[in-house]
């Protein structure tokens, strides 16, 4: 960084590169003892795109997500978010990065002893100095933005259905108006109608808020409906990154089985009918 001012005096926009790729992973190595999960994995998430991430069991999809958001240290390689290499990011840079992303974990990861409103407000209490009244008003706006009905903010997570918990987790992920949204199996456990509604919500939010979305999913309907590109994990690397219709032409065995198997053909056929 060439700015001569103290980093503490810089704005988030001055610390982060908001023009280049949202995420860049280069040469990532992830291992558990002797089990190497990623071996030289490269991945770029472009700003403004919805990127789906797929792969067979054991290919390290969640490991990749956890590494990108700093919950796991890699054994090799680099991870950069908005131009900041995470392994060498200062405390101030980390704070700026965390304000620019939101995460929806597979089970929602809501605090069970807090109401939905309090869960959504938690990131704002941590990262802003807004008055309490304003924070809770903003929390109610995020709850509505996530498609929850009035009154949902007063409920505890145990009182919510699976679909409502997903939306509550999404509302919390949106609390700080992030540029980058991470979703871990967002439609897992939802019935087809609820899954389709959640897909539509993500698509609408991505378009209206200009979000960059990194999404792990096994849902073929989701991949066909809302992704711009799909990254395929296999053999310890990203073996392909392309729009779904291009992946259908791949000669990689796992990709062919996944996208050209019975479920893949059904999802593709549904997409063509809708078009």
For 81-117, the pLDDT digits (tens) are: 999 999 888 888 898 898 899 999 877 689 999 999 9
- Report the candidate in 132, 136, 131, 98 with the shortest Cα–Cα distance to residue 119: 136
Where do we find the tokens 């796992």?
254
SS3 215: strand
Which residues, listed in sequence order, are joined to residue 80 by a DSSP beta bridge?
A: 24, 85
pLDDT digits (tens, 9 = 90+) for 210-224: 999 999 999 999 999
Question: pLDDT class for 143, splitting at 50, 70, 90?
Answer: very high
- Report the candidate in 197, 153, 185 with the shortest Cα–Cα distance to residue 172: 153
Helices and strands of the chain, counted as H and E runs: 11, 10
d(CA 65, CA 91): 21
Q: Is the pLDDT of residue 271 over 60?
A: no
Going across the sheet that includes 50-55, the strands are 101-104, 180-184, 212-216, 50-55, 229-234, 237-242
Segments making up each domain of the chain, as ranges? 20-100+181-187+214-275
Cβ–Cβ under 8 Å, residues 187 and 217: yes
pTM of the model: 0.90
> Hey, what CATH topology would domain 20-100+181-187+214-275 get?
Rossmann fold (3.40.50)
Q: Is the pLDDT of residue 37 over 70?
A: yes
């Amino acid at each position: 960084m060439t700015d001569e001012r103290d980093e503490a005096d810089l704005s988030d926009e001055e610390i982060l590169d908001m023009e280049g790729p949202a995420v860049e992973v280069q040469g990532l190595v992830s291992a558990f003892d002797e089990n190497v999960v990623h071996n030289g994995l490269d991945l770029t998430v472009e700003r403004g795109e919805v990127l789906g991430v797929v792969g067979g069991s054991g290919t390290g999809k969640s490991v990749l997500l956890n590494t990108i958001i700093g919950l796991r240290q890699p054994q090799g390689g680099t991870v950069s978010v908005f131009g900041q290499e995470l392994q060498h990011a200062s405390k101030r840079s980390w704070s700026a990065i965390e304000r620019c992303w939101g995460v929806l974990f597979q089970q929602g990861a809501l605090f069970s002893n807090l109401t939905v409103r309090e869960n959504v407000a938690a990131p704002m209490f941590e990262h802003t100095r807004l008055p309490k009244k304003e924070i809770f008003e903003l929390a109610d706006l995020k709850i509505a933005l996530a498609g929850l009905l009035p009154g949902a903010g007063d409920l505890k997570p145990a009182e919510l259905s699976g679909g409502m918990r997903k939306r509550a987790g999404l509302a919390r992920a949106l609390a700080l108006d992030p540029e980058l949204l991470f979703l871990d199996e967002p439609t897992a456990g939802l019935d087809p109608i609820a899954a389709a509604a959640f897909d539509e919500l993500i698509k609408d939010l991505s378009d209206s808020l200009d979000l960059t979305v990194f999404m792990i999913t096994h849902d073929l309907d989701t991949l066909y409906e809302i992704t711009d590109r799909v990254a395929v994990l296999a053999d310890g690397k990203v073996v392909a990154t392309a729009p779904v219709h291009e992946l259908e032409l791949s000669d990689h065995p796992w990709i062919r089985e996944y996208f050209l198997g019975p479920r893949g053909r059904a999802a593709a056929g549904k997409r063509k009918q809708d078009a």
